[in-house]
Amino acid sequence: MKISVSGLSGCGKTTLSKYLAEVFGLEYYGASKLIRDAAQQRGIPLEEFLKTHDRFQLDKIVDNSTKQLCKTKEKVVVEGRLTGWFCENADMRIWVHASLETRARRLAKRDNLPYEEAVKKIKERDEADRKAYLKLYGIDLLDLGVYDLILDTDDDDIERMNKNAEDFIKRMLLED
């Protein structure tokens, strides 16, 4: 089984991805792991790799790695902003949604930032991502047409989010 989990920063996609990997006995790959693996394959320390690659280069590395993973791995959860688009043979594509306010609150807590600064960072990141993906691939990040399930995580009930996704996947497996 191949599952892709996508969403904007701070929405809960990593939390959900790790849960699904554990529940279904799948390998987990997130964007940060793919970047670490790329640096290791090139024999370059991660810090140096990040300094010598711009944002678009890193996006391309993650996206190409996602495509390759989905071609070669049978039992995997791949997490990232565009995995729903690049894991074309995924059995299940999930989009995790949270409002700007919820994502900013989570980022502020995680990174110990003032709330207003978190809002600003997320708005800038969202806009930069959307423009970059349109320019690089012609993909509108907010076009959710490729997803099988859209989960709203605004209520912060992580257990319910995880269980809803698990139950949906199990129902879909029974239909096959």
The domain segmentation of the chain, as residue ranges, is 2-150
What pLDDT does 109 receive?
A: 93
Q: Which amino acid is at 29?
A: Y
Across 18-33, average pLDDT: 93
What CA–CA distance (Å, rounded) separates 12 from 106?
9
Q: Which of 70-74, 82-86, 104-108, 154-158 has the lowest mean pLDDT?
A: 154-158
pLDDT band at residue 83 using 50, 70 and 90 as cut-offs: very high
Task: Tokens 């930032």: give the residue.
Answer: 113
Q: pLDDT, tens digit, for every residue of 28-61? A: 998 888 888 888 989 988 888 888 888 788 888 8
**pLDDT per position as a tens digit, 116-145:** 999 999 999 899 889 989 988 999 998 999
Query: Going along the chain, which residue ranges are E strands?
Result: 2-7, 27-30, 76-79, 92-97, 149-152
Nearest to 106 by CA among 153, 150, 59, 149: 153
Q: If you average pLDDT over residues 74-99, what whole number do you get?
A: 94
Write out pLDDT tens, residues 145-158. 999 999 999 986 88
Domain 2-150 in CATH 3.40.50.300? The answer is yes
The model's pTM: 0.88
Question: Residue 176: its pLDDT value, please?
Answer: 64
